[in-house]
Chains A and B, each alone.
Chain A
Amino acid sequence: MISEKVFGKLKILAESAKYDVSCASSGTSRPNMPGGIGSAAAWGICHSFAEDGRCISLLKIMMSNHCIYDCAYCINRRSNDLPRTTFTPEELTGLTIGFYRRNFIEGLFLSSGVIRNRDYTMEQMIRVVKDLRVIHRFNGYVHMKVIPGASSALILEAGQWADRLSVNMEIPSENNLKLLAPEKNFESILKPIHTITDHILQSKEERRKSNHAPRFSPAGQSTQLIIGATNDNDRTILDLAGKLYQKRNLKRVYYSGFIPVNAYDSRLPALASPPLQREHRLYQADWLLRFYGFNVDELVSEKEPDLDLSLDPKTVYALRNPWLYPVDINKADYATLLRVPGIGQKSARMIVAARCHSRLNSAHLKKIGVVMKRARYFITCHEIGPPMSVQDLKPETVRQLILHGPKATEGVQLRLEF
């Protein structure tokens, strides 16, 4: 029987965990072992969506919301007066297995406030994950948070049981971290990130030699940055993300629009609402960095260090570099197609494949799934028709056309034709 106590704890510790954004459960496929339950699907499955539109894939929960630290941006900081509680390992594994067997979740995402000290907290968390794997023979997905400053030995152990490890950076620059989380420092965050990267690479290397070598955090490492709690601009943020991807091999950087949970703290800005649009643009830019071959300087410069909120970063790039367009759909290579606004990876691949069979025109592109509303100004299929490209119309006009549609800008267009 499930006790009433668990109800109360689940409520408190889910509320405490909800500001953690990452929900991805993708990146490993872990086949079901004989006699065990569960498998991790490589593509990750959302099992529900909260009313805020976020995917619910994992049981995202804190082991405890007690904390000895006092980070300004965190709802669980010790100076807040709120109900505190801690799950026992049995309660947590029971919930995870019970939810998993009902297909409510892909697995567990475990974090915790710092109880007593860092290593003690890590030990308790590891115990939960290890119990799931060893006692319950659970093959589902587990994402475990690493407490900043945790010892390397504990990180090594955690990585043996979890599919993914993450250390949250939260604040993108050192001086702002000092301001908002005086008990933490960059060193205590960057060191475990480094340790995890090393172990992941090492384990990959060993597994190349032998299939029996133990896995270490096989779905890689991620982190989270809070957006808008500090004056850090998008360039600082993307620059950090770019380095984490390149130098530290991170799988994902998550961006979380700041939600003022501690309005009383004057070190924090008073925001009317969380900066969701900025968060959205950062995710788009992040995507361009990881899959579209862009680098940070192409998206945000010293002169314009913030992303344009009204247009997606690829379109902004194209408008800033009109001489690179229009791109010939029937000739351009994959990398060039990827730089066309309105063409995604999938449509770029389809264009390249379909060209072997026949010449493509704009009707084909539309059917393939190219967003012509944006793409039309940056491509040519050598069709007969009025001049359309960003070169003919000038970037500012195209910007207006994309933002407001051809109708609203009819006057502008006419003037330009003469």
Chain B
Amino acid sequence: MKILSFDGTFDGLLTLVYESFRLKVFPEMIVSSGDQGVTLFDAPVFIPAEAEKAERVWKRIKERTSREGAYRLYMVFLSEQPDAPELIYQYIRHMVASSHNIETDFAHPVVVDVLNIHRKVMREAHRIQMFTRFQQTAANSYYASFAPIYNVLPVSIAHFRDRFADQEWVVYDLKRNFGFHHLNGEIERISFETLPASVLTGNLDDRFLHPDEKQFRKLWKNYYHSICIENRKNPKLHRQLLPKRFWQYLPEKQVEKG
């Protein structure tokens, strides 16, 4: 069984595609080098990432499909699903083998699978835009953190940059332990050594908070409960639209301590 492995980055995967085509080695399995449990099979051949080769594959992809179609593959990669690298690989093979743009070939299983994973990742990215809650700090900057199921922070960040252009802010992924810092249009990737907030709620430690912050959270919670119409309560629909895994990070859903 032919197994190829890569370093877990998108560039690494694209390089793997490049080498596979160049050497005409078509893997039956693709693994990220960080993954465990592959030793049962033949030893994988590791393909180191090379920016130049990755760039050439990416260019090729963009020639054969729309811009949207190309980014769709990147989003599928961000899903971090175990089978995503293979799916992307299959998609690219199908793309190269066809004489026309395969993007709309919805009868093809690989195309539909890519579309469905993409849809899930997009939904999570959208939920980040919906459910991110900033806390104002004593230094007049803003902080938010949560744990998305897919690695969608990188694709959500542009939205916050546009909307909160005059704010200094940090948006942080608690699960993957990295985030982005924004100031005056400049965005920088950061990683905290000691988290300034609770891992459970994303709430900043009291000593960092702006004096108004707790009031605003209370006001929002107060508003949230006032706006609900009792005669229309619908817990099932409510949980469907606002999944429970977000509740711990939302001031309107947090249970007050003490």
Contact = CB atoms under 8 A, between A and B. Distances in A.
Interface residues of A, number: 57
Interface stretch (A5-13, A155-163, A226-234, A396-404): A5-13
Given A103-B134, A104-B133, A52 B226 contact: no
Interface in A72-99: 95, 98-99
B108 A2 contact: no
B228 interface: yes
A46 B232 CA distance: 18
A331 to B, nearest CB: 16
Interface in B141-193: 142, 144, 159, 162-167
A19 B235 CA distance: 19
Given A2-B216, A38-B163, A51-B235, A7 B107 contact: no
Interface stretch (B31-39, B56-64, B98-106): B98-106
A247 interface: no
A31 interface: yes
Contacts of A55: 241
Contacts of A18: 226-229
A411 to B, nearest CB: 32
Given A15-B226, A18-B226, A99 B164 contact: no
Given A14-B226, A56-B227, A102-B134, A354 B105 contact: yes
Given A6-B219, A99-B220, A368-B112, A52 B104 contact: no
B231 interface: yes
Contact of A49 (B226, B230, B241): B241
Interface size grouping (class) on chain B: 35 or more
A391 to B, nearest CB: 26
A19 B229 CA distance: 8
Contacts of A98: 212, 216, 219
Contacts of A413: none
B129 A45 contact: yes
Nearest to A23: B227
A101 B142 contact: yes
A120 B107 CA distance: 61
Of A11, A103, A358, most B-chain CB atoms within 10 Å: A103
A364 interface: yes
B223 A14 contact: yes
Contacts of B231: 259, 273-274
A45 B130 contact: yes
B167 A52 contact: no
Contacts of B136: 101-102
B234 interface: yes
Given A1-B211, A353-B106, A357-B107, A102 B133 contact: yes
Interface string A107-128: 0000000000000000000000
Contact of B227 (A37, A50, A101): A50
B9 interface: no
Contacts, number: 155
A357 B102 contact: yes
Contacts of A351: 106
Given A1-B211, A32-B163, A51-B238, A357 B133 contact: no
Nearest to A11: B226
A19 B163 CA distance: 29
Nearest to B119: A369
A233 to B, nearest CB: 23
Contact of A101 (B134, B238, B241): B134
Nearest to A17: B227
Given A2-B216, A39-B162, A48-B250, A53 B232 contact: yes
A354 B164 CA distance: 40
Contacts of A208: none
A32 B162 contact: yes
A17 B223 CA distance: 11
A359 B212 CA distance: 62
B215 A2 contact: yes
B164 A37 contact: yes
Contacts of A99: 216, 219-220
A213 B105 CA distance: 44
Contacts of A267: none
Contacts of B167: 37, 101
Given A49-B242, A59-B223, A368 B106 contact: yes
B164 A2 contact: no
B208 interface: no
A31 B222 CA distance: 31
Contacts of B107: 354, 357-360, 364
Contacts of A53: 232, 234, 237-238, 241
B252 interface: yes
B222 A11 contact: yes
Given A32-B163, A45-B130, A353 B104 contact: yes
28 contacts: A7-B219, A10-B222, A10-B226, A14-B227, A18-B226, A18-B228, A45-B126, A45-B130, A47-B131, A48-B131, A50-B224, A50-B229, A51-B233, A52-B229, A52-B230, A53-B241, A99-B219, A101-B142, A102-B220, A103-B132, A103-B133, A103-B144, A350-B104, A357-B104, A357-B105, A364-B106, A367-B106, A368-B112
Interface of A: 1-2, 6-7, 10-11, 14-15, 17-19, 31-32, 35-39, 41, 45-56, 59-60, 95, 98-99, 101-104, 257, 259, 273-274, 276, 350-351, 353-354, 356-360, 364, 367-368
